[in-house]
Amino acid sequence: MTALPLVFDAPRRGMPPRHLADLTREEARAAVTELGHPPFRADQLARHYYRGVTDPADMTDVPAAARGTLAEALLPGLLTVVRHQTADNGRTRKTLWRLHDGALVESVLMRYPDRATVCISSQAGCGMACPFCATGQAGLTRNLSAAEIIGQAVAAAAAMANGELDGGPGRLSNVVFMGMGEPLANYARVRKTLDALLTPAPHGLGLSQRSVTVSTVGLVPAIRRLTEEGRNVTLAVSLHAPDDELRDTLVPINTRWKVGEVVDAADAYAKKTGRRYSVEYALIRDINDQPFRADLLGKLLAGKLAHVNLIPLNPTPGSIWDASPLPAQREFVARLRAAGVATTVRDTRGQDIDGACGQLAASEDVGVPTVALPTPQLEPTVPLGAEADE
């Protein structure tokens, strides 16, 4: 497998049309005024947008003569569904979206008995080049706009409200930035998305900070910036190795910021927010699942405000690696807990539709389905988006 270069600066491509979700409330009201309408129309548009209303004809509180003009100017269609794929008896749905320039991204909506979580993408592709991740091996196409990111969450909220997943109507409770891309490499737009997710209705989705998780492979300056800006969302660090020698290979960003620097930045975030951070660790057979590495990880995190979330590797086409066997998983968990480190095992969802962690590749060619290797479960398991509650 040929190593890909790290890419921090997204390729320059044409930006999508201006959208209400890209604007602050004041900017939206000014834009409506420029179109010759009273500023409160912007608030009406926001109310409809965040409720998932896409047809101007359904915006009955807006004069019929103004609906088309306002929707065309501020609510252009940025995300077009290419296809939905379902798994887990209808409780998981992966959506492939086509963007205005033909770029493709995926999001995954997962329903659990006590929550509904959507995993959203922040970039088309990814520039972090992790060799075991399908998205990372695809390379980076471009950053998404804030509206393109927010739109995935809005669509998921509407799908839950409309009962499109098994179990009838419900409410979107959690959002995790664990889809395609490195969120902190698209910092400004992810930050704007956080504002929209956390702002109460009708100007946002009104989620709680503890129900939103931002994942990163370890962009230390961006973690520090997030810390300084005072948000209390859950931070998830994709570590995957406790030692620099191995992590340099598995997570190439480690050649810039080493394990110790990443953990120090996460510790500073925990100290500032009082919130425990999650350490994501994909267990890969004979690569990073050895008992001595469990001991190294335990020593690294002992006494810290951290929680380890173990993820048996999800298979991807052409991968030379697979998940750790059950005995190795059990040993790894036991050693971490013996070191006093809180540890759970990720409840894998969507594996048979290539919708699990590390599998998103955004291809229009369904082709031959990836064979989903059976992953024995370890107790306790934790659903995606629930790590902060453990």
- Rounded to an integer, what distance in angstroms lies between the CA atom of residue 82 and that of residue 248? 36
- Rounded to an integer, what distance in angstroms lies between the CA atom of residue 63 and that of residue 141? 40
**Residue 57 CB partners (closer than 8 Å, separation 6+):** 67
| 376-381: average pLDDT | 48
Beta bridge partners of 281: 310
Q: Which amino acid is at 301?
A: L
Percentage of residues in the chain with pLDDT exceeding 70? 87
Is position 3 within any domain? Answer: no
Is the same domain home to 70 and 93? Answer: no
Is position 4 within any domain? Answer: no
**pLDDT over threshold 90, residue 319:** no
Region of residue 374 (phi > 0: left; psi between -120 and 50: alpha; otherwise: beta): beta
Tell me which residue range forms the domain holding 54. Answer: 20-74
Is the same domain home to 288 and 240? Answer: yes
Is the same domain home to 90 and 51? Answer: no
pLDDT at residue 382 in the model: 67
Catalytic residue among 119, 280, 357, 387: 357
Q: Is 357 a catalytic residue?
A: yes
Half-sphere CA count of 291, side-chain side, radius 13 A: 6
**pLDDT over threshold 70, residue 386:** no
Is the same domain home to 161 and 30? Answer: no
Count of Cβ atoms closer than 10 Å to residue 117 Cβ: 25
Is the same domain home to 27 and 103? Answer: no
Q: What three-state secondary structure class fits 298?
A: helix
CATH number, domain with residue 57: 1.10.150.530
Q: For the chain, how many structural domains are there in total?
A: 2
CA-to-CA dists, residue 351 to 87, 135, 370, angstroms: 8, 15, 9
Catalytic residue among 34, 106, 148, 261: 106
Q: Is 387 a catalytic residue?
A: no
**pLDDT over threshold 60, residue 140:** yes
- Over residues 258-279, the pLDDT tens digits come to 999 999 999 999 999 999 999 9
Nearest to 383 by CA among 262, 221, 242, 213: 213
| 242-263: average pLDDT | 97
Percentage of residues in the chain with pLDDT exceeding 90? 76
- Over residues 168-193, the pLDDT tens digits come to 999 999 999 999 999 999 999 999 99
